A and B are shown apart, each in its own frame.
Chain A
């Protein structure tokens, strides 16, 4: 039962329920590792068709599997609901801030482009840095708005995936595959593991009701 009946608490409770089943964590983890999947397959010597095709298939599978699982696993246990349209509209300022941040970062990347060619910092590191900052900012914004604390950590994990793997490639003698694994693989594994633990807990805490017919 809710502890407070303020609009803020009620809305956060409703938004947070969307993350109770761990499915968003699993999807985020799989989509993150999928970014580098093509690179890994190329390292293994597979043809361009495979390096492009497999990540697309994985992405589509994840994007289709999550709604399917929601429909068959989550909704029967948690129930069905839709947030009121006036409250959904309150997401608009948050989305506008996200777009503004993205545009500012794109502008920063463009401005840095010339400087990168003249200076010592490679352009790819600047672009990855921009991705990393964006991930931290957007995940923190989502974590704050939805009241889901682990999203803050996910922002840093995504940032590490982009910057960490590239830094490892440039500064160590490790093979490319190992650098990707330490960067993207570790972050993804943490997210998927967290999602699986949450899913297990969710299935335990929310058993399937026999019939929802009111008495």
Chain B
């Protein structure tokens, strides 16, 4: 059972927890200014480790927020990520809601 202390403020209830996590938010924000980026670029740009990035990538892909394309280049696999329209919408909605939450803070 959720105690009153654990219950989020009314405005914060609608926050998308998938987007709210700092690493995923950084990942989505980085992808929002790009058409696409590969795995190596995102590792460098976000500072996430290979395992961390891979885990967040899977969650975002499962939610339909990012598109992942894998291709073979020589002997290595190149993974290219891009933001879907659903991902862009989720980020935009998160920003608007977060602004309202911050405005309502005491």
Tell me if A214 and B41 are in contact (CB < 8 A): no
The interface centre, meaning the residue of A79, A80, A214 with most chain B CB atoms within 10 A of its CB, is A214
- The distance in angstroms between the C-alpha atoms of A1 and B38, with both chains bound, is 16
Top 6 closest A-B pairs, CB basis?
Answer: A79-B41, A1-B47, A79-B40, A214-B54, A81-B37, A82-B35
The interface centre, meaning the residue of B30, B42, B47, B48 with most chain A CB atoms within 10 A of its CB, is B30
Residue of A78, A206, A214 near B57 (CB, 8 A) is A214
Chain A positions within 8 Å of B, measured between CB atoms, are 1-2, 5, 7, 10-11, 13-14, 17, 76-85, 87, 206, 209, 211-215
- The distance in angstroms between the C-alpha atoms of A10 and B34, with both chains bound, is 10
| Interface size range on B against A | 20 to 34
Chain B positions within 8 Å of A, measured between CB atoms, are 25-26, 29-30, 32-48, 50-51, 53-54, 57, 76-80
Query: Could you jot down 28 A-B contacts, CB within 8 Å?
Result: A1-B45, A1-B48, A10-B32, A14-B45, A17-B45, A76-B40, A79-B38, A79-B39, A79-B40, A79-B42, A80-B38, A80-B40, A80-B80, A81-B36, A81-B38, A82-B35, A82-B37, A83-B33, A85-B35, A87-B33, A209-B40, A211-B77, A212-B76, A214-B39, A214-B50, A214-B79, A215-B50, A215-B54
Chain A contacts of B40 at CB under 8 A? 76-80, 209, 212
